[in-house]
Amino acid sequence: MCIRKRILQLILCIAVILMVVSCNDYLDRPPLSNITPEEYLWDESQLASYAISRYTSVFPTHERNKWGTFEIDGNTDNQAAVSMDNKYAPGMWRVGNTGGDWDFSFIYQCNYFLETVLSRISNEQMSETDNIRHYIGEMYFLRAYEYFRKLQTLGDFPIVTMVLPDEMEALTEASKRMPRNEVARFILSDLEKAAEYLKETSPDGKKNRISRLCTYLMISRVALFEATWLKYFKGTAFVPNGNGWPGKTKDYNASYQYPSGSIDNEINFFFEKSMVAAKVVADAVKLVENTGIIESPGNENPYYNMFAAVDLSGFTEILLWRKYDKGLGITHNVSVFGQHNNNGSGTTRGMTESFLMANGLPIYAEGSGYQGDDFIADVRKDRDGRLHLFLKEPGQINVLLNPDMGSHTTPVEPVPGIYFASTTRYNTGYTLRKGASYDGAQCDNNGGYSGSIIFRATEAYLNYIEACYEKNGTLDADATAYWRAIRMRGGVDPDFNKTIAATEMSKETLDWGAYSAGVLIAPTLYNIRRERRNELMAEGLRYMDIKRWRALDQLITTPYHIEGFKLWGPMKEWYDDNVLVYGADNPNSVVSDPALSQYLRPYELSNKSISFEGCKWTMAHYLSPIATQHFEITSIGSEDYSTSPIYQNPGWKIEPGSAPDGF
State yes or no: pLDDT of 477 exceeds 50.
Answer: yes
The mean pLDDT of 560-584, rounded to a whole number, is 97
Question: pLDDT digit string (tens) for 27-59?
Answer: 233 444 443 547 799 999 999 999 999 999 999
Give how far Cα 256 sits from Cα of 98, 228, 241, 259, 299, Å.
Answer: 30, 21, 7, 9, 57
Question: pLDDT digit string (tens) for 285-339?
Answer: 999 999 999 877 666 899 999 999 999 999 999 999 999 999 999 999 999 999 9
359 within domain boundaries = no
pLDDT at 299: 64
pLDDT at 298: 65
The mean pLDDT of 192-216, rounded to a whole number, is 95
Question: pLDDT digit string (tens) for 155-165?
Answer: 999 999 999 87
State yes or no: pLDDT of 637 exceeds 90.
Answer: no
Three-state DSSP class for residue 456: strand
d(CA 466, CA 482): 11
CB atoms within 10 A of CB 624: 21
pLDDT at 297: 65
What average pLDDT does the structure give for the chain?
Answer: 92
pLDDT at 141: 98
248 within domain boundaries = yes
User: What is 549-582 written as a DSSP string?
Assistant: TTTTTHHHHS-B----S-TTTGGGGGS-TTT---
User: What is 230-259 written as a DSSP string?
Assistant: HHHSTTSTTSTTSTT-GGGGSHHHHT---T
- Give me the half-sphere count of Cα atoms (radius 13 Å) on the Cβ side of residue 325: 3
d(CA 436, CA 295): 12
Three-state DSSP class for residue 308: coil
Confidence of residue 359 (pLDDT cuts 50, 70, 90): very high
State yes or no: pLDDT of 11 exceeds 80.
Answer: no
Residues 398, 412: contact at Cβ < 8 Å?
A: yes
Q: Range of 157's domain?
A: 3-40+102-284
pLDDT at 168: 67
Three-state DSSP class for residue 214: helix
Residues 464, 285: contact at Cβ < 8 Å?
A: no
**DSSP 3-state percent helix, strand, coil across the chain (nearest 5):** 40, 5, 55
* Of 624 and 662, more confident: 624
State yes or no: pLDDT of 14 exceeds 50.
Answer: no
Residues 164, 238: contact at Cβ < 8 Å?
A: no
Give how far Cα 246 sits from Cα of 77, 123, 178, 441, Å.
Answer: 30, 43, 12, 55
The mean pLDDT of 453-459, rounded to a whole number, is 98
492 within domain boundaries = no
State yes or no: pLDDT of 203 exceeds 90.
Answer: no
Work out the percent of the chain whose per-residue pLDDT is above 90.
88
Question: pLDDT digit string (tens) for 70-124?
Answer: 999 999 999 999 999 999 999 999 999 999 999 999 999 999 999 999 999 999 9
pLDDT at 551: 98
pLDDT at 96: 97
pLDDT at 31: 45
Three-state DSSP class for residue 450: coil
Confidence of residue 167 (pLDDT cuts 50, 70, 90): confident
The mean pLDDT of 241-267, rounded to a whole number, is 97
Looking at the structure of the chain, the number of domains it has is: 1
d(CA 431, CA 336): 13
pLDDT at 216: 98
Most confident of 4-18, 163-177, 316-330: 316-330
pLDDT at 8: 37
347 - beta bridge partners? Answer: 79, 430
Confidence of residue 636 (pLDDT cuts 50, 70, 90): confident
- Please report, for the domain that includes residue 148, its CATH number: 1.25.40
Cα-based angle 376, 387, 488 (whole degrees, multiple of 5)? 145
Handedness of CA 193, 199, 200, 203 (dihedral sign): negative
198 within domain boundaries = yes
